[in-house]
Each structure stands twice: as structure tokens, then as C-alpha cells.
Amino acid sequence: MANKFDVIVIGSGPGGYVAAIRAAQLGLNTACVEKWQSDDGKVVNGGTCLNVGCIPSKALLDSSYKYHEAKDELGVHGIDVSGVKIDVPAMIARKDTIVKNFTGNIGMLFKQNGVTSLQGHGKLLAGRKVELHKPDGSTEVYEADNVIIASGSVPVNIPVAQIDNDVVVDSTGALQFESAPKRLGVIGAGVIGLELGSVWSRLGSEVVCLEALDTFLAVMDQQIAKETKKILTKQGLDIRLGCRVTGTEVKKGKATVTFVNNEGAEQQETFDKLIVCVGRRPFTEDLLSADSGVNLDERGFIYVNDLCSTDAPGVWAIGDVVRGPMLAHKASEEGIMVAERIAGQKTMMNYDVIPNVIYTHPEVASVGRTEEQVKADGEPYKVGVFPFAANGRAVVSNETAGMVKIIAHEETDRILGCHIVGPSAADLVQQVAIAMEFGSTAEDVGMTVFAHPTLSESVHEAALAVNGHAIHIANRRPRKK
């Protein structure tokens, strides 16, 4: 049957396209459904991550930091750069080119691996059938032995700050500004808000972040969170905690935001642009028929077990549409796990070792449990901290802000978590993630030879510090809890 596949994947984001490619590599006749299309009507793969998320935001973060570095940072190296300017449209165009190249490459990977690309909106019916609503308005039904739902997520909208895609925008709109707004408001001081706020702050915007929670980066290790807030505040971000937005009025091209601050007083601030970054929600609109057999949990996520299997036999779900952190790499690894299990392999995924990164400068990264979580679990633990200010490579690079923190079990010395704010934190934390995957102890990392001079030596020293053996800082008595 032309309309019958071994596997149909709904969604071609970082979970969906990876699942489709891996399934095809394993010899399964695979199709991938994607509804996103370009202005000329062609299918656009990659989902949120490649189109309006991870890749474009990092392109702008990188470009804006290079401008900031040339304008404000190179003098310490004896480099005099006078009259440096930023061409925002050229920066945006570079970002768009990168996105186009990456999304186009997925189509080539599909062809190379034998994945059939189906364009349109996919809806799961009973019996592992997928109803495809095509761009021309026609409908076709496909069958599969297995269906993988990878429909992703969308930004959360709030009634008190309605998106108009002009003055008030979501994270997607914030990637398209034609110039740096003089005054920029950001509702939400989470990962997306801090990254986008950093981009435009570097380009000259006065940025105010209004965060409803009283705790900054509440899900992160609080020692690292406090250090991060100090660093970002010094850079110019005005981060206000405990500020609950109650209304927004757009008038004469500006947005006036009314909010109640952490002391209970009502205040107003007026901005040239306002970005709403209060989180994301799973995308399930018109995705499941009533008799599909797939159930949602109380928060609107598709219910799955530890292997990403739904309540409907042969139907799986991965990525942002299911429980767990909304991270592209988590979605990709779930896609690989599911494809391999469909093919009969016994692949498992370690959800305890998933790195998380905020791509500000310096970066903030973590893997494993925070000190607060370990304490709440009642486990005895010890902590090692090493500042980048004591690292030779960081000093010569003028990148001394931040620290590496490693938490280990007091009795077994097994690493429970690593939290970093500092240069190349995203890459450094991966070293500890690998160690944790193999059940390493702090002593194991401490006994490993690290090249000198490197930023990685800060990881080495933090591991040594866990047991009071750090070389390049004065050792305090190991913190045992």
C-alpha cells in the first residue's frame, strides 16, 4: 500500500527529524509529516529549534556579543577599535541565512536516508492512522505500524499582554527587530527572556526584565543563580523579581505595562518594544482524534511512560509535547531511543543526566541535581567550588566571572550534579555529564589529567575541592551536609 509505512513521525523538529532519520537507518519505511511552509509554499523542516528557537537566537547572541566585545572589551588587550558600528539588518540577514541552510539540510538528509516527507497538518486517528490535511485543502489518510508524535511546543500567551506582533511580541518576534529599541521590556526572566534581553542590551537597548517569581532562576542551583544575577545586573540588565504584570496598553507605538512589585505597590513602565517570554506549552491543537487512545495529563502534555510510549499501542510521543524539560537535545535523544525500540533494540535514556544551558555571556550550565534538590532528598553530600578568577586560561582571556560547582555524595563520592556560570560553561558541563553517565566519583575526575592552560582545569579543580584537595585556591574544610 502506497499509504502504509512502518513509522510515521508527526513533526520535523529536533525530536521528529532525528527519530525519522534513525528509524530509516534501521531499515524501517518511514515518513515525516510537517505543516510548516515557506512563503513559496515549500515544506520547512526543523521545527521551533531551527526556525525560531535555538539556532536563530544563538546566531544573534553570537553576533551581538562580537559587537559588544569589539566596542567595550578589546581595549584591555591593547586593541583600539574606534567607531565600531552594528548593522542590525545585516545581522538579521546572517541569522536568516543560517536558518535556511540548516532547515534545507534536513530535506537532504531525509532523501539520503530514504525518509518520505509529507507536507501538511497531521492528526492521529484510531488504529495508528494519520490524517494529513494538505496545504491545498485536500485530505489523505496514511497507516503505520508505529506513530511518533513530535509536535513540539508554542509560546504561552497571557491576557495581560496581548501579542500584536508589532510593539508587543513573543520570542519569535524578538528575533526580527529592525533596530535596537531604545527601551525594551521583557516579561519573564527565564532562559528565553535572559537570552533575548542580552542580545538587545548589547546592541544598546535599556532592558528591564519583569519576573513574577521572587526567586531568580528558581529551578537552578541557587548559589549559581545568585552569581548569575550579579553578573547580568553588572552588564546592564535591570532584573526585577516579584513583579506581577496586571495589564498592558499600547498607545502611539509604545507599550505601557502595569505591574505590582514585590512590595505590593502598583507601578508602570513604558517601553518601545515588549517581549513576552513566560514559558511554552505543548502543541496539541487538532492533533488527536477523540478515539485515538492517546491521553493528556493534567498540564496538557501527552502522557507517556519512561520509554515515551503513550496509552495507545504503537503510538509514541517525544520532546516538548511530553513531560520533562523542553530541550532540543532531550527531544533528539528520545527520538533515537524510540526509533531503536521500534526496531527491536533495548535502548534506554538516562533522564538524570540531561545538561541544561542558558546562552548568555557568560554561559550558565548545569547537569544533575542542585544542592537544594539533594538537600531536600535528605542525602549526605559535599561540595567543591572553583572560581574562574583562579584559572590561568580564563585570566589571559579576560573571562574571569563565575565558577564551577560540583556536588558529590558524602559517603560514595559519586557526582550528583555540576553547575557552572562562566566562559564555555555549555562545553565544560558536558565533561561532567560524561563522567556522571559512567558513575564517576569526584576523585575520578580529580585523578584525570587535564591539559594546561585550559578552562577545563576549573572542572578539575572543583572536583579536587570536593574533597579539600584543590591546588590553586586555599582549601576550606569540605562542605558536608
Q: How many Å apart are CA 152 and CA 220, to the nearest integer?
A: 23
Residue 171: how many CB atoms within 10 A of its CB? 22
Cell (9 digits) for 229: 544575577
Q: How many Å apart are CA 282 and CA 11, to the nearest integer?
A: 13
DSSP state of 110: H
Cell (9 digits) for 209: 526584565
HSE, CB side, 13 Å, CA atoms: give it for residue 234: 10
Q: Using alpha carbons, list the distances in angstroms from residue 256 to 49, 248, 270, 327.
A: 31, 6, 4, 33
Left (φ > 0), alpha (ψ -120 to 50) or beta: where does 344 sit? left
Q: How many Å apart are CA 232 and CA 370, to the nearest integer?
A: 21
Q: Is 452 a catalytic residue?
A: yes
First to last CA, the chain: 63
DSSP 322-374: SSS---HHHHHHHHHHHHHHHTT------TT---EEE-SSSEEEEEE--HHHH
Strands 273-276 and 183-187: parallel
Q: Using alpha carbons, list the distances in angstroms from residue 83 to 67, 72, 73, 79, 86.
A: 11, 11, 14, 13, 10
In 188-256, alpha helices (H): 191-202, 222-235
Closest by CA position to 417, among listed 327, 356, 342, 332: 356
Among candidate residues 409, 419, 452, 472, the one labeled active-site is 452
The kind and range of the H/E element at 274 are strand 273-276
Which amino acids are annotated catalytic?
452
